[in-house]
Amino acid sequence: MRFAFTEEEDNFRDEVRKFLKSELPNNWDGVAGNNLEEGASDKEWDFALEMRKKLADKGWLTMAWPNEYGGQNASMMKQVIFAEEMTLARAPGRDGFGIRMLAPTLMIHGTEAQKTQYLPDIAKGNVQWCQGYSEPESGSDLASLQTRAVEDGDDFVINGTKVWTSSAHRADKMFILVRTNPEAPKHRGISFLLIDDMKSEGIKVNPIIDMAGRHNFNMVTFDNVRVPQKNLVGELNRGWYVGATLLDFERSGVEYSSRCMALLTELIEFAKTNKRGGKYISEDPNITKEITEIYTEINVSRGMSYKIADMQSNGEVPNKESSMSKLFGTVLEQKVADLGMQILGMYGQLGPESKHNKLKGKIEQEFLSSVSATIAAGTSEIQRGIIATRGLGLPKP
Amino acid sequence: MRFAFTEEEDNFRDEVRKFLKSELPNNWDGVAGNNLEEGASDKEWDFALEMRKKLADKGWLTMAWPNEYGGQNASMMKQVIFAEEMTLARAPGRDGFGIRMLAPTLMIHGTEAQKTQYLPDIAKGNVQWCQGYSEPESGSDLASLQTRAVEDGDDFVINGTKVWTSSAHRADKMFILVRTNPEAPKHRGISFLLIDDMKSEGIKVNPIIDMAGRHNFNMVTFDNVRVPQKNLVGELNRGWYVGATLLDFERSGVEYSSRCMALLTELIEFAKTNKRGGKYISEDPNITKEITEIYTEINVSRGMSYKIADMQSNGEVPNKESSMSKLFGTVLEQKVADLGMQILGMYGQLGPESKHNKLKGKIEQEFLSSVSATIAAGTSEIQRGIIATRGLGLPKP
Amino acid sequence: MDLSLDETQQMLKNTAKDFFATECPETHVREMENDKDGYNKQLWEKIVNQGWLGVPFAEKYGGFGLTFLEFCILLEEAGRVLLPEPLFHAVLLGGMPINIFGNEKQKDELLPKIISGESIATLAFHEEDDSILPSSIQCQASMSTNGYTISGTKMFVPFANISDMIITIARTGDKDTDLSAFIIPSTAEGISISELSTISSDKQSVINLDNVQIPATNILGQKNKGWELVEQIFSFGAIGKSCEMLGASEKVLEGTVEYAKTRTQFGRPIGTFGEIQRHCSEMATIVEGTRFVIYEAAWKLAQNKNAKKEVSMAKSWTSDSHKKVCAISHQVHGGIGFTKEHWVQLYSRRAKAAEIAFGDGNYHREKLSKLLGF
Amino acid sequence: MDLSLDETQQMLKNTAKDFFATECPETHVREMENDKDGYNKQLWEKIVNQGWLGVPFAEKYGGFGLTFLEFCILLEEAGRVLLPEPLFHAVLLGGMPINIFGNEKQKDELLPKIISGESIATLAFHEEDDSILPSSIQCQASMSTNGYTISGTKMFVPFANISDMIITIARTGDKDTDLSAFIIPSTAEGISISELSTISSDKQSVINLDNVQIPATNILGQKNKGWELVEQIFSFGAIGKSCEMLGASEKVLEGTVEYAKTRTQFGRPIGTFGEIQRHCSEMATIVEGTRFVIYEAAWKLAQNKNAKKEVSMAKSWTSDSHKKVCAISHQVHGGIGFTKEHWVQLYSRRAKAAEIAFGDGNYHREKLSKLLGF
């Protein structure tokens, strides 16, 4: 047992920090809102891609990949440190879809041709993937998805609608779950396909604007979209299991605690240096009590993430632990944002575009974005179900 | 709309208060623990019976009864006021089983003979009834009860086990739900019987001691207990519906808020007059914030009860409202008790028997008793189910 | 104790509910989010024609001769549909200060205009330090030969953009509470108004007052008694805002239950799942608790009884409860609820503004705490 | 960063878990609730024979030469079974103050006795004012020709009834923090000990000291440095107590999940109901969060690193989390859980005592608040 990092890990952290300090603009403050690392504007997006290339050059994006695919087999803790520092600095440029989701899937289920075709571009940060999973009628119950793919000559022909597709409007390519056998039990008629060009005929990307006014999600419709059969990953009708593949790449959820700590640190500073009613905000015991509680909870949340990394380091496969980390961490994001609103008082109403705002209007954006924290990527209800049934062995309802 | 009592109501409240002041011993403090109005000791019990007789003489116990049965058809608000004052004064003597549960049932479903035989004694406070409903395997799912009654000549013969039977060890008589047709669907094979003598052969009352060390609950076993057929209330196998009968007698749950207010008032006084670490406890913002919140919640809880009384006054039948009142009020009882423990610090560990205790060790007892608040008489989970399905019309799970 | 509405109240409620359901659909709310004025003049006229701006004012001014309580009933219904039109502001921040603190001349002259919709007034209290304390007022009103000269900056003034009178709280003496209220025409020289963009897409403004000259007769109430006006109007404001939140909570509850009944996942309505049932029953219980605590305060205020505790209980409770109701609703709705095109986020964004208006939960808990002798 | 136990730690944990499972069943816990001494001498001897009283002490005194961290692992296992025997007290409140603050003579003489179980020591800090502040100490130690004369009353002293040494904090100067620690034999003239009856049915006593004479050599640590001892031992105490709560939480979670799997209502296991699944997953998440925050503090303390923040985070979190776990367990168990004969209430009663021992949630939040610069 050791609650400190090794010298090597500390050095790595310093290296990442120095890199970010030199690469990020002065007083870089991230892109507001806690769920949009890459930002919503074109400018933010371009910067994110630029950063991604640099991170790829450093080898950091693929450090978790096995050596055989050009990765470094990096330790879980090193991955956690990288995630922490990127998040604390609010730095853009990581690639969740290509590097952390699709690549591991291809490494296991892809043909040699698929690996050769796709992995190098992903590793270099040359290509943006998006994920076609959820549908309007299939949210928490993903396996009920209805988007159809029918074999036709050398192709599949896809019809249907995907929703909540993050960054679809930025993406070059998409991996998608489609129903290839509507007769089979719902988990057993799904296939995993690769769409090489989001500009293909029949694909329409419709923006979904969120309540913070930003464009991250999309609804994507497919009208007779043709995909060559060679783009099938894994076996036909086994796509549910292909899609569920995850290598032990870092997925500790350490972003929750880092994101919260970055914001809390700013709030503490603000409360100590700003007055309301003649007193520093930090003299209000209601505020300090909450800060103290949240500070502790952030530490607890970080611990949950370290535990997951530790399990993975020891070759164990986390299941309920990941759900717990998300369940706890996302509530925490909402608490910090709400605390920020409390601290800002009337000024909490003012967003980035208002000249009278405080903290650049970030808190208003964080508050609005935080609503989705306990919903997106598996609602708290779904997480609790996983903990109860898969984790604790309670019988399914 | 009028958020004040009428002069008549105010006068009645004064009358009750004066009566209680004269009848309760000086510095009467109730019997510790919030779920045992009648107290656990023999002495407390005797005093409760004495009070009951006096309250019966005043006509207050039966004031809700219709005139034809010797009651006063009292207004709902008057009943609420009576309940409030009794609870605020922590006065014993009311009779939940005979007056508020069995009597209304007999008024509707009883034969003339049954009414003549039972109602007068109940009204005079001469007899203690208890309620044989729950069973070890039938808690929240009461309708699955298994205690059997088989017809045999002029009698029913009862075998089985009832549990959580409050005051069974004090009771003279019991009304009981038994299964008379094991073949029928579970709600349709139950009958409602009266047991005239708890000392009957074959009845055994086994104490259940609660975690506060007190004896209120019992497990009652029936070994070939004979009950005459004339003691069947309502039709055979229709007992589930007989047992569900409730006249619109006061059941607003105003006891929750009154009980909490009585305790909070003492805690405020204590915090204002006692020091810790050189400061009055009431100078601790953690404590005062919680007091303020609970004070508000008590007001909200009282409002929920008044709403129920108001509905009943207008001839409406509350359903989800009663569940809401219980759901909210019982959590509040736990909060007040926990606040009390916080305020008492290390002294919260000391119960009534300890000579170094504060507030007579009452808080320790309240804390221990409050555990059952959200469980007894329908768990919070059951209440929420009622609100969701019966109240909001959500489909049954 | 009688929690039911009397006949007049019930009629008012029914009329308002029907009216708003027809006249203020979601499309209207959305349109006004981006409207220059933030309200629709045609609809405003219809509201005026209902006579609702006169509900709590005497008949001699053209009012209904009812009380604040009846106005609260209106506000609950307005809150249910998120009415963008300045009903709350015109009556509560414009008319009521004049009605309570104005002299006969002011009342005779101004109330009929306000009630008839000819004039809209608002209240400018907040400044850069956004706390609700006498000491946060820095705006100065100095006596000059012809009256007062007022300078300073007012923040977060609701509907200043469309008001022709700004009731402005300014400092008139050396003591902390030496504040006075002034009726300033928004056309006066030296005033500049700039709008803020807010989380609830409502209309709040920053007002700059640069040596604004007004006649001495424009003082509202007694000199140096302005803090009393603020305290009283903020009490009405806190309860009025709570009523809007109550109406909004009711609508959110209804809509969420409806969604839980119709949305299916895993082959059945999500309302059959224990977690969703729990969410809905929690919401319902919170909303149930809210009604009493608000109307108790509203009734006492309307009866001119001491309602300090009740006001603080109501606003602190409702600030939290409505926020919670919106949060639970989002949880039940899942992804769809936080898209711009869904109705829930219209409510949850406004919930934040309502939470902090006229004192947030902590502010009112502190106040209550003092009233309890701490 | 390595959250796993090393080989020694894992072995210690396994041994302890097995030992306690066998030696300390529920019947034993119940028996000791009413036992005069509050512990069983045979079992105590077995514990002594395991060498566990020597875990954090050097080998030259007969100890294992391990650290506080390893002792925490033991405490977690002891907490799981609610061990009544004074393992916590003898080591943490008796041995550790002597080990850290004693001079060589005291350590040579006393530690072997404590480790071998020949002697039991405890710590008497609290007085009538139960706050954890230097100023709450009124007990006086005055220099006399032969040493010190000590008078005062100590409250809530754990296991004083069976201790032969009472490490007593007393006032030795005029400044607030002029406190010193003294080793007082419990047989000294002028001492009277009377037991308190507590919510957790443990053994806490009131000690009256009436002109108790002790030699000057019985001072523990430097004169007027007693507050440092208190602060340090209370840090160990807070974390040790948290470890006990962690073990208890784990057991409550396991037992509750087991009950949810086997108890049927409405024709199916209650663990299939959404509400019960929610309860169980909340418990599990809370317990999961607890482990890290405690062991982080334990490790830092064991490494003599600054652990002030970590200690306060751990104790404030765990005080609340364990209480919550017990409350949820009661909710899942329904009626049966609050009967005297059920195991859950054994845990929830002790949770209260553990919550407030060595500072409750609010105390540690205040402390953390200061450490964060507020």
CATH code where residue B222 lies? 2.40.110.10
Q: Please tell me the distance in Å from A9's CA to the nearest CA on chain C.
A: 38
SS3 D86: coil
Q: Are residues A11 and A66 in the same domain?
A: yes
pLDDT at B397: 82
Q: Are residues B387 and B324 in the same domain?
A: yes
- Residue type at position D6: D
Q: Please tell me the distance in Å from C272's CA to the nearest CA on chain D.
A: 10
Residues of A in contact with B397 (CB under 8 A): 397
Chains with at least 3 CB pairs less than 8 angstroms from chain C: A, B, D
Q: Are residues A255 and A345 in the same domain?
A: yes
The answer to the question of residue B352 being in a domain is yes
C 40-99: CB under 8 A from B: 69
Q: What token pair was written down for C351?
A: 């919930």
Among D2, D239, D270, D290, the residue to mutate for chain A (most A Cβ within 10 A): D2
B3 at C interface, C-beta within 8 A = yes
Cα–Cα distances in Å, from D306 out to B160, D101, D296, D300? 63, 18, 11, 7
pLDDT at B319: 85
Q: Between A and D, how many residue pairs show a Cβ–Cβ distance under 8 A? A: 143
Catalytic residue, chosen from A84, A85, A135, A250, is A250
Low-confidence ranges of chain D (pLDDT < 70): none
Q: Report mean pLDDT in 10-residue bins for chain B, 397 residues.
A: 95 98 90 60 90 95 92 93 95 91 94 96 95 93 96 97 95 97 96 98 96 92 98 97 79 93 97 96 96 98 96 89 96 97 97 92 93 92 95 93
Residues of C in contact with B81 (CB under 8 A): none
D 214-273: CB under 8 A from A: 257, 260-261, 268-269, 271-273
Catalytic residue, chosen from B84, B250, B290, B321, is B250
Q: Are residues A179 and A281 in the same domain?
A: no
Residue B38's domain is classified under what CATH number? Answer: 1.10.540.10
- Its sign, for the CA torsion C240, C241, C245, C248, is positive
pLDDT at A34: 46
Q: What token pair was written down for C22?
A: 């027809």
Q: Distance of alpha carbon D226 from its chain centroid, rounded?
A: 20
**Which of the listed residues A218, A239, A260 is the one where a domain comes to its end?**
A239
Q: Are residues A334 and A255 in the same domain?
A: yes
CA distance D360 to D323: 12
Percent of chain C with pLDDT over 90: 99
pLDDT at A247: 67
CA distance C74 to C88: 9
Q: Please tell me the distance in Å from D270's CA to the nearest CA on chain A.
A: 9
Residues of A in contact with B292 (CB under 8 A): none
Residues of B in contact with A279 (CB under 8 A): none
pLDDT at C122: 98
Which CATH code, of 2.40.110.10, 3.30.1330.10, 2.160.20.60, 3.60.20.40, is assigned to D122-224? Answer: 2.40.110.10
Among C281, C286, C300, the residue to mutate for chain B (most B Cβ within 10 A): C281
Residues of B in contact with A289 (CB under 8 A): 285-286, 289
Q: Report mean pLDDT in 10-residue bins for chain A, 397 residues.
A: 95 98 90 60 90 95 92 93 95 91 94 97 95 93 96 97 95 97 96 98 96 93 98 97 79 93 97 96 96 98 96 89 96 97 97 92 93 92 95 93
Q: Are residues B292 and B271 in the same domain?
A: yes
- Judged by CB atoms closer than 8 Å, whether chains meet at A310 and D2 is answered as yes
Q: What token pair was written down for A389?
A: 């049934």
pLDDT at A29: 84
The answer to the question of residue B366 being in a domain is yes
pLDDT at B34: 46
pLDDT at B248: 67
The answer to the question of residue A318 being in a domain is yes
Cα–Cα distances in Å, from A358 out to A87, B64, C129, D133? 22, 61, 12, 40
Of C126, C129, C345, the CB nearest to A277: C129
Residues 6+ apart with CB under 8 A from C129: A275, A276, A277, A278, C135, C136, C138
CA distance D82 to C365: 40
Q: Are residues A232 and A275 in the same domain?
A: no
Q: Please tell me the distance in Å from C279's CA to the nearest CA on chain D.
A: 10
pLDDT per position as a tens digit, A81-120: 999 999 999 999 998 899 989 999 999 999 999 999 999 9
Q: Which of D244, D229, D278 is nearest to D350 (CA)?
A: D244
B213 at D interface, C-beta within 8 A = yes
pLDDT per position as a tens digit, A251-299: 899 999 999 999 999 999 999 999 999 999 999 999 999 999 999 999 9
CA dihedral of residues B86, B92, B97, B99 (deg, nearest 10): -60
Percent of chain D with pLDDT over 70: 100
ipTM for the predicted complex? 0.96
pLDDT per position as a tens digit, C92-144: 999 999 999 999 999 999 999 999 999 999 999 999 999 999 999 999 999 99
Using the CB atoms, write b or e for A194-210: b if 16+ within 10 Å: bbeebeeeebebeebeb
Of A268, A394, A396, the CB nearest to D280: A394
Chains with at least 3 CB pairs less than 8 angstroms from chain B: A, C, D
> By the 8 A CB rule, do B210 and B219 touch?
no
pLDDT at A248: 67
Domain C228-371 has CATH 3.40.1130.10: no
pLDDT at A362: 92
- Judged by CB atoms closer than 8 Å, whether chains meet at C1 and B310 is answered as yes
pLDDT per position as a tens digit, C41-51: 999 999 999 99
Q: Residue C283: is its pLDDT beyond 80?
A: yes
**Which of the listed residues B187, B218, B239 is the one where a domain comes to its end?**
B239
Question: Which residue segment(s) compose the domain that B140 sits in?
Answer: 129-239
Residues of D in contact with C274 (CB under 8 A): 273-278
Q: Are residues B282 and B330 in the same domain?
A: yes
CA distance C359 to C347: 19
Provide the number of structural domains found in chain A. Answer: 3
C278 at A interface, C-beta within 8 A = no
Of D274, D289, D292, the CB nearest to A397: D274
What value does the CA radius of gyration of chain C take, rounded to a whole number of Å?
A: 21
CA distance D351 to D328: 13
Among A381, A383, A389, A396, the residue to mutate for chain C (most C Cβ within 10 A): A381
- Judged by CB atoms closer than 8 Å, whether chains meet at A286 and B286 is answered as no
Q: Are residues A217 and A260 in the same domain?
A: no
Domain positions in chain D: 7-120, 122-224, 228-371
B250 catalytically annotated: yes
Which residue in chain A is spatially nearest to C131 when comparing CA positions? A277
Cα–Cα distances in Å, from B231 out to B155, B221, B236? 9, 19, 11
D 151-190: CB under 8 A from B: 155-156
Of D267, D340, D362, the CB nearest to B286: D362
SS3 A357: coil
Q: Are residues B256 and B368 in the same domain?
A: yes
Q: Are residues A385 and A282 in the same domain?
A: yes
Residues of B in contact with D197 (CB under 8 A): 350-351, 353-354
A332 at D interface, C-beta within 8 A = no
The contact set of B with A (CB < 8 A) is 285-286, 289, 397
pTM, two decimal places: 0.96
Q: Are residues B227 and B267 in the same domain?
A: no
The answer to the question of residue A104 being in a domain is no
Residue A363's domain is classified under what CATH number? Answer: 1.20.140.10
The answer to the question of residue B111 being in a domain is no
Q: Please tell me the distance in Å from C177's CA to the nearest CA on chain D.
A: 30
CA distance A327 to D278: 12
Which residue in chain C is spatially nearest to B386 when comparing CA positions? C281
Domain D7-120 has CATH 1.10.540.10: yes
